[in-house]
Structure 1
Amino acid sequence: MSASDILLSAKGLDVTYGAKRHLFGPADGGNRVLHSVDIDIRRGETVGIVGESGSGKTTLGRALLRLVGLSAGTIHFDGRDITRLPDTQMRPLRRRMQMIFQDPMASLNPRHTIRRILVEPLLLHGLVTDREAAERRVAAILDRVTLPHACLDRNPHELSGGQRQRIGIARAALLEPDFVLADEIVSGLDVSTQAQVLNLLKELSRDLGLSMAFISHDLSVIRAICNRVYVMRHGRVVEEGDCEHVFAAPASGYTRMLLDAIPLPEIDPTWLGRETAQEDAA
């Protein structure tokens, strides 16, 4: 694997919360959450980050997006060192590095219509020349995520959980990102709705050439969508490799424990069309 194959690379990431800062010398104390974590994400691949609650996986994801401060380590995006870029220089990169949140209600403004939630980012980032062009792109992405156009004039609370999550996916995809971080986005959904969302993400990743980091505690979800997986425990990566190899022959005792503790059912892709139609008709 050459350096040009890697879109996002992090080396030696440390994150410590609550450290005491001093006028002279380094900060000390606090709770060290990440311990010298290395991770590479290739262009066009989906990488799973899995572990129990408190393993540091969400902190790692937010660190990759520069949403939490680093105590040590470096992050390179598309060959550029972004570790210490000021906000003014990070802002143009934010469009290329999108996040889909676990709780769509927390990330969608409850006072805005879905139309406004989807149209305004296109205009803000200059991806369209006028509102009419933005409306056309929004209509097209709604078709892609199998949502009726009637939902545009609704507020988030008027949609089901699965529909809200698909709006979150649509909002991220509209901005034509290179990298998407999906943080536990199916954990609150029933199994059939999980299947819809996972198949949708796989289709978008394939068609748009996205690189993705998918954070989950559920190994069956990781197996369904990811090419490679990083297994985390206590803020450290304890195993990394192709999903097929890691699931078939885990090298870490912790990974074996996770596999033994969690059933790994197959996800039936035919659920996507059937359940989506049922949900939209409800």
Structure 2
Amino acid sequence: MSGTEATALVEARGVEVTYGGGRPLFGPKQPGIRVLHGVNVTIGRGETVGIVGESGSGKTTLGRALLRLVPVSAGTIRLDGRDITRLGGAEMRPLRRRMQMIFQDPMASLNPRHSIRRILGEPLLLHGVAGNRREAEVQIRAMLNRVSLPAAVLDRSPHELSGGQRQRVGIARAALLRPDFVLADEIVSGLDVSTQALVLRLLKELSRDMGLAMAFISHDLSVIRAICDRVYVMRFGEVVEEGPCAQVFDHPQSDYTRLLLDAIPLPEVDPHWLFPGTADAVAPPPVPKETCA
């Protein structure tokens, strides 16, 4: 048993996901469309794992299956050794705090009718992380400071913030619940390069400080290589290659991985590119706070 398997927080074995199918009102039972085909994934405590593949490869479906947001038709998913594959809604509710997701489109995942204060505060009260609104306010302001957002955003609505600010609100919402596992799904794909670097620095810092297990879904191979420890390469709902990032990208074993690398050649990666001006790529410098005009 490897060190990662021995300390696994999230473990998927033989996972299949099938959409559609079932028995219609009239006619024979339909088989449905299988999207994942016996996928195995292990994510250790404090480990950041990348999941890559072209559109339609099944990487987002795999991420949602790990969080039990889509039903699994075969296989098992374990969280901290507990089989959660077929737990009902009531049984999953206490575990939801431990498994959080940062969405690709923060505008679609933030309630446009609510203020940022309400968006961040209500989950704290719902899950009992804060005992009252005053405690919630203290925790929210501390987290805003960590993600380099001014307190003025608390009285704003999501549409009044920039894309980068909204994405940091999404990160803050997930981190406030003190999760064990976070799924980040294409979270920098719609941001400019400088904002991407800002968001990735913040995410890497939080992951390090909180000891999060994180799955990072992206089509950007340079981002995966910069922030992930290991990577899974997916094609047609199957894992075709997995291993440490440097090994997979420098010495790919799968023809498909080679095709991906040839299609989007990786630049020479500077290990300090996320944290320029520092000798230690793991310890980012303070990020200047933005003002809300």
Task: Quote how far apart the aligned CAs of 1:281 are.
Answer: 6.4
Q: Distance in 1 between matches of 2:289 and 2:92?
A: 42
Specify the SS of the correspondent of 1:254: helix
Q: Distance in 2 between matches of 1:188 and 1:223?
A: 19
**Match runs of 1:22-101 below 5 Å:** 28-101=30-103
Moved over 6 A (4+): 271-274
The aligned amino acid for 1:161 is G
With the length of structure 2 as denominator, give the TM-score of the two structures: 0.90
- Residues 1:269 and 2:271 are matched in the alignment: no
Hey, what does 1:154 align to over in structure 2? 156
Specify the SS of the correspondent of 2:85: coil
Task: Quote how far apart the aligned CAs of 1:37 are.
Answer: 0.4
Hey, what does 1:189 align to over in structure 2? 191
The aligned amino acid for 2:201 is N
Q: Distance in 2 between matches of 1:281 and 1:75?
A: 42
The aligned amino acid for 1:270 is P
The aligned amino acid for 1:214 is F
Hey, what does 1:6 align to over in structure 2? 8
Q: Distance in 2 between matches of 1:268 and 1:66?
A: 32
Specify the SS of the correspondent of 1:40: strand
Q: Distance in 2 between matches of 1:160 and 1:204?
A: 21
Specify the SS of the correspondent of 1:75: strand
5+ unaligned residues in a row in structure 1: which ranges? none
Q: Which structure has the highest helix share of the two?
A: 1
Cα 1:150/1:235, change in 2 over 3 Å: same
The aligned amino acid for 2:276 is T
Does the aligned pair in 1 maintain the 2:103–2:185 contact within 8 Å? Answer: yes
Does the aligned pair in 1 maintain the 2:152–2:292 contact within 8 Å? Answer: no
Cα 1:114/1:281, change in 2 over 3 Å: closer
Residue 225 (structure 1) aligned to one of 213, 222, 227? 227
Hey, what does 2:182 align to over in structure 1? 180
CA deviation digits over 1:122-146, x for unaligned, max 9?
1111111211111010000001000
Q: Distance in 2 between matches of 1:263 and 1:31?
A: 33
Computed over aligned residues only, the root mean square deviation of the Cα atoms, in angstroms, reads 2.0
Q: Distance in 1 between matches of 2:24 and 2:78?
A: 28
- Residues 1:241 and 2:243 are matched in the alignment: yes
Hey, what does 2:280 align to over in structure 1? none
